[in-house]
Amino acid sequence: MNQKILIIDDETDFCLIMNNYFIKKGHTVSYAHTLNDGLDLLEKNQPDILFLDNNLPDGYGWDSVESIVETVPQIRVYLVSAHRSISTFHYKNKNVVIWEKPISVSLLNTVC
């Protein structure tokens, strides 16, 4: 099943790798390198899946999780970061998952 995937991450290489991986699996992918651009794409595209980095040039992505889930209630959110300890952030929603970078292919295979 074709899923709409949005990646919000300031690391260009990460976005390109994720883009290529999911396009090869037949999904539609868009990405942004800033939080504001990503939130604009979120409202416009209403993705099924979001990969959201925390440390972005214009803010902390993880601080936007609640408003993202309110905007797109069915979305599955994967909070990803190499810079923040995953043990310090807790969000109680079955559609929100926290992953530490680097992300393995076996984990990506569980997405869709």
Delimit the domains of the chain by residue range.
4-108
DSSP 29: E
Rounded average pLDDT per 10-residue block, the chain, 112 residues: 96 97 98 98 97 95 92 94 62 78 92 90
d(CA 44, CA 52): 16
Note the pLDDT of residue 98: 85
State the CATH architecture for 4-108.
3-Layer(aba) Sandwich (3.40)
Q: How many residues in total does the chain contain?
A: 112
Note the pLDDT of residue 17: 97
d(CA 98, CA 1): 24
Note the pLDDT of residue 1: 82
Note the pLDDT of residue 33: 98
pTM over 0.85: yes
At CA 94, angle to CA 51 and CA 76, rounded to 5? 30
